[in-house]
Amino acid sequence: MSLTFHWFLPTTGDSRALIGGGHSIPIGVGRPAPAPGTAGAIRPPDIDYLAQVARSAEQLGFEGVLTPTGTWCEDAWLVTAALLRETSRLKYLVAFRPGFISPTLAAQMAATYQRISGGRLLLNVVTGGESAEQRRFGDHLDHSERYARTGEFLSILRGAWGDEPFDFKGEHYHVDGATTARAPDPIPDIYFGGSSKAAGPVAAKHVDTYLTWGEPPAQVAEKLDWMRGLAAEEGRTLRFGIRLHTISRDTSEAAWAEARRLLDGVDPAHVEQAQQALGASESEGQRRMRALHESFRAGGAVRDLEIYPNLWAGVGLVRAGAGTALVGSHAEVADRIEEYAALGIEEFILSGYPHLEEAYWFGEGVLPELRRRGVPLG
């Protein structure tokens, strides 16, 4: 089994500090913005900086970059289209929410994107687990209804890429003759994550790669077994990916010192305000992320945030979405990657603070270590 590694485009901004925020809450909630030029200053997500991250990811050997979606992000379709000329090989994993766009239009956009990029588009379908965020865009469906709509959306999306015009009439969509002038070549792989009972059947029926956030291996194994069973009922198999941050250094001590530095820079008021926002989420995955650092929030010690060897839950104190990081020496991080790979994880979507520098630490430290061990890399 070949392993594939992707990096992340920080379209909400970047920093040497653990700035938090994410797709559903504003960056820096609960703390004043640091002064420009200081260690915790925000690097704005301007196109020149994002191009620097993208070029570095390509140079270091990453397959692609995930570009998030949400109120506090720059638009993923527009940003990545603007970056196509900055890279030649790198793929762009574009996150978008199916309830906010026509499925036929999405099929057309993807087909166009594949032609102008030379086939470098991947699609990350994000159903959405934050009701306030959904309502901001005019979406008032409840959690289960949103997943039902996503299933219909994906049926139409794939149908529009078929050989014949596609008709569909469901609870949420009714289209006649959905098609594109030319099908995308290749058809972009569809990535999808969701831990709820409503999410599983949608993934099993429609997607290519099922994504999980970075939970301890036993929990990941349980989730993958659940998804394998659902996919088998549909007569399908899935690829599996995991979303993690990384802090990899030449020594374990140096990596944990960096984790401590990031944590020491977080204002407790920032944690409290971010957790109040995240606690309102309807996302089962977000609930599971919050549970990983519950003991620390209840007054535990800093080491309580190491919830499994080299798996640190500190990022989730202030950041929505993926809240865990692989922390350790390059060899230790490679060990954990091989452990997840043994469960069936084939794709790793990684990030770190700041995204430019951490891409180099991982690309020049962990990837060579995996190659030295003979791990096949895609």
Tens of pLDDT, residues 41-81: 889 999 999 999 999 999 999 999 999 998 889 999 999 99
Look at residue 207 and tell me whether its pLDDT is greater than 50.
yes
Q: Please state the pTM of the whole predicted model.
A: 0.91
Residues 351, 355, 359, CA angle at the centre, nearest 5°?
75
Distance CA 271, CA 195 (A): 24
pLDDT of residue 28: 54
Q: Are 332 and 252 in contact (CB under 8 A)?
A: yes
pLDDT tens digits for range 346-366: 999 999 999 999 999 999 999
Query: How many CB atoms are closer than 10 A to CB 22?
Result: 26
Beta strand 166-169 pairing with 174-178: antiparallel
Neighbour-count burial of 79, counting CB atoms closer than 10 A to its CB (0-12 exposed, 13-18 middle, 19+ buried)? buried
- Does residue 279 or residue 140 have the better pLDDT? 140
One DSSP character per residue, 28-94 reads TTTSPPPPTTSTT--B---HHHHHHHHHHHHHHT-SEEEE--STTS--HHHHHHHHGGG-SS-EEEE
Confidence category of residue 135, pLDDT binned at 50, 70, 90:
confident
Look at residue 134 and tell me whether its pLDDT is greater than 60.
yes
Distance CA 212, CA 210 (A): 7
